[in-house]
Every structure is written in structure tokens, then in C-alpha cells.
């Protein structure tokens, strides 16, 4: 049993992967955070890693989005210098590559990186771009950056951040995102910014249909021109919106572990991913915040196979869905599709067993 389990884990880790929904600020090595906390005497426990962990990672927290978002409030105090930001970004990409992620879209908030120390947001964005470029050269990974606007930030600041993204489109930046508390803060005030993003040519993704209703998904598509929806698991609650996303071929960035930790789902066995795939939605599997959630993309694949029992053919399809939804120019996106179609095995095997039987081990 143990050997078989280890083989499953090894097989899944070796799969080439695509992660379209990963936040930089939720992808930081805890060991590095502890080092920063000690060096700069931050107001968090620094005795050892386990003392720090509950402040920056979900442990015994209640399954609410408030508790989850609270980790980011702590993490923004760790961006103490350009050199530290460079290191954190580089390590985040390195960790993705170590999990055999071959194509990564990493989203980040220049305002979060700059707020505590008063850095220029434009400078912070350039530090991230430079660090990612260096990591791409050192590891076998392709990375596109998505700039994230936050619903509860002031609109003038969001305008500044969006302009930073517009100016750097094609220079490391591939998309614009809207995140934050969708329950308390509507998306419509951001419509002009996303209209301009569409005109510039940026890919657009919006967090919606996660903590609030399916109507947020409709707003994301019709008001913010979203090509993709972050999470979107509540889309299934409304048949008209379900029809809309199928007509528009909207892709969904599903994040299993974080959905459980934020209370979007109460039991993993009942996660909507299964139904999303059954009705033909372009669902993809992603990590969201691997260090906050203490997960890897391989872990998320294992959950999909073993707990949701979707089978390897469906898992493979989610990866191909991700390739077809990447924020790349059409020719490069087609190259990515063909590359992954060639890289991904048509079946996984374990002692001659079929992929569907992996969940029974």
C-alpha cells in the first residue's frame, strides 16, 4: 500500500503541469519568511518555523475567507527591501519548477509589495519582472505575470496599478486580475479599467463566484470582459449564467484546497469541480496560494484523482484546458497546446492498472 501510494505521488509529480492561478504573495517559502522576521525583528514569533507557521499559513483557522485573507495582512510586512522581494519571487518560481510546472501565470499586487515600506509600485513591478526573468533562465519554466487589482483598495490606486500593467504589457505582464472580498465590494466600479485592459490586449481574469453568488461570474464576463474566472465554482447555481459561460467558452481557475480552507466547500468530496467537468466547462486545476495552503499542484492533482475520483483522462483534460486558456498570443498559445498534448501521457499506469483505478489504491 505504501509503495503504491509513493508511486502515485511520483507519477503525479512527474506530470508536466500548468498553473494559471497562483498568487506570488501566497507562494513564499516559510524558511525565508522566518529568516526575514528574525533579521528585521518583525512582530511575529521567531523561535522556530512552527511558531511562525500559524501566522502565515492555514493551520487551525476557521474555514472562512476572512481568516484566509488575514494571512496576506501579515505577509505584506515581509517585503522589507528590493533584495528580499527579488529573492521571494525567485524562490516562488523555483518552487513551481520543482513541482514540474512548465507554464506558470503568477499574479501579484504591486501595492501589497510596496505598501509597508513605501516603495514605488512601478519599481516593485519591475523588481518582480526582473526576478522572474532570471528564474526562467535558471529553471525549465515559462512564466507570465498577472497584475492584481484589489476590490477594497481605493479606485485611484487601482488606476495607478492598472497603468503599471498597461505600460508593461508584452514586457513580462500578460494579464490583469481583480481579487479581494467579493462579498462586500462590487466589481462594477472597475469596469473602465478592464475595458482599457481589453483594448491594450491584456488577458483578463476576475475572482468571482467563489465567496459570493453566481451573479458575480456574470458581472465578471459582461462588465469586466473576463476571459477567465478565478474559482467560479458557484456558476452551477444559475442555469442562465451556466449557459453564458458555455457560450463564451469562459475558462475557470479552480483551486481545490483553498476552496475548502475558505469555506467555499464544506467537504472536499462534494467539490463542484466534478460537475463542472461533467457539463463541459473549461475547468482547470491550480494552487491559488501554495504556501498559505501548504500544498503543491501535484497535491491538488492527487486530490482530484483520489478524493474526487475524476480519473486521469479528466485530469489530463484540465491541463489541456489550461493550455488553451493561457494568456499568450494565438500562435504561442497553439504552440503550448501542441507541446502539452505531446508531453502528457494518454494514460497513467501503475503495475498495469488503468488511471481510473488509481483512486482505489
Among the listed residues 211, 18, 23, 194, the one whose alpha carbon sits nearest the alpha carbon of residue 97 = 18
Would you say how long the chain is, in residues? 361
Which residues carry out catalysis? Answer: 210
**CB under 8 A, 24+ apart: contacts of 183-190:** 183/65, 183/211, 183/212, 184/152, 185/151, 185/152, 186/151, 186/219, 187/151, 187/216, 187/219, 187/220, 187/223, 187/224, 188/219, 188/223, 189/155, 190/149, 190/151, 190/155, 190/158, 190/224
- Grid coordinates representing 113? 509589495
Cα(76)–Cα(170) distance, integer angstroms:
27
**Cβ neighbours, 10 Å, residue 69:** 16
**Cβ neighbours, 10 Å, residue 62:** 11
**Radius of gyration for the chain, computed over Cα atoms and rounded to the nearest angstrom:** 19
**CA angle at 81 for the pair 75 and 85, rounded to the nearest 5°:** 60
Distances (CA, A) of 136 to 73, 248, 253, 337: 29, 32, 23, 20
Torsion angle in degrees (nearest 10) through CA of 145, 25, 189, 217: 80
Amino acid at each position: 500500500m505504501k509503495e503504491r501510494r509513493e508511486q502515485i505521488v511520483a507519477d503525479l509529480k512527474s506530470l508536466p503541469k500548468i498553473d494559471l492561478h497562483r498568487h506570488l504573495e501566497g507562494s513564499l517559502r516559510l524558511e525565508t519568511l522566518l529568516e526575514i522576521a528574525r533579521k528585521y525583528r518583525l512582530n511575529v514569533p521567531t523561535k522556530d518555523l512552527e511558531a511562525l507557521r500559524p501566522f502565515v499559513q492555514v493551520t487551525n483557522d476557521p474555514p472562512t475567507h476572512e481568516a484566509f485573507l488575514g494571512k496576506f495582512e501579515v505577509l505584506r510586512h515581509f517585503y522589507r527591501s528590493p533584495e528580499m522581494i527579488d529573492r521571494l519571487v525567485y524562490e516562488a518560481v523555483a518552487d513551481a519548477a520543482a513541482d514540474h510546472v512548465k507554464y506558470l501565470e503568477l499574479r501579484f499586487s504591486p501595492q501589497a509589495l510596496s505598501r509597508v515600506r513605501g516603495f514605488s509600485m512601478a519599481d516593485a513591478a519591475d523588481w518582480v519582472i526582473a526576478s522572474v526573468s532570471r528564474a526562467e533562465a535558471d529553471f525549465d519554466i515559462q512564466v507570465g505575470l498577472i497584475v492584481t487589482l484589489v476590490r477594497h483598495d481605493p479606485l485611484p490606486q487601482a488606476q495607478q496599478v492598472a497603468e503599471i500593467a498597461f505600460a508593461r504589457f508584452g514586457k513580462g505582464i500578460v494579464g490583469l486580475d481583480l481579487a479581494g472580498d467579493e462579498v462586500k465590494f462590487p466589481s462594477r466600479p472597475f469596469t473602465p479599467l478592464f475595458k482599457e485592459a481589453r483594448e491594450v490586449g491584456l488577458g483578463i481574469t476576475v475572482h468571482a463566484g467563489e465567496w459570493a453568488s453566481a451573479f458575480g461570474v456574470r458581472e465578471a464576463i459582461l462588465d469586466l470582459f473576463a476571459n477567465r474566472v478565478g474559482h467560479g465554482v458557484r456558476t452551477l447555481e444559475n442555469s442562465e449564467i451556466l449557459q453564458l459561460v458555455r457560450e463564451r467558452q469562459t475558462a475557470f481557475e479552480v483551486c481545490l484546497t483553498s476552496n475548502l480552507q475558505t469555506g467555499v466547500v464544506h467537504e472536499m468530496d462534494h467539490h463542484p469541480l466534478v460537475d463542472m467537468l461533467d457539463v463541459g466547462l473549461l475547468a482547470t486545476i491550480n494552487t491559488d496560494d501554495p504556501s498559505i495552503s501548504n500544498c503543491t499542484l501535484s497535491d491538488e492533482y492527487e486530490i482530484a484523482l483520489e478524493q474526487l475520483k475524476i480519473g486521469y483522462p479528466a485530469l489530463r483534460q484540465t491541463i489541456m484546458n489550461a493550455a488553451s486558456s493561457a494568456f499568450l498570443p494565438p500562435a504561442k498559445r497553439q504552440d503550448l497546446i501542441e507541446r502539452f498534448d505531446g508531453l502528457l501521457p494518454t494514460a497513467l499506469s501503475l503495475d498495469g492498472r488503468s488511471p481510473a483505478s488509481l483512486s482505489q489504491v
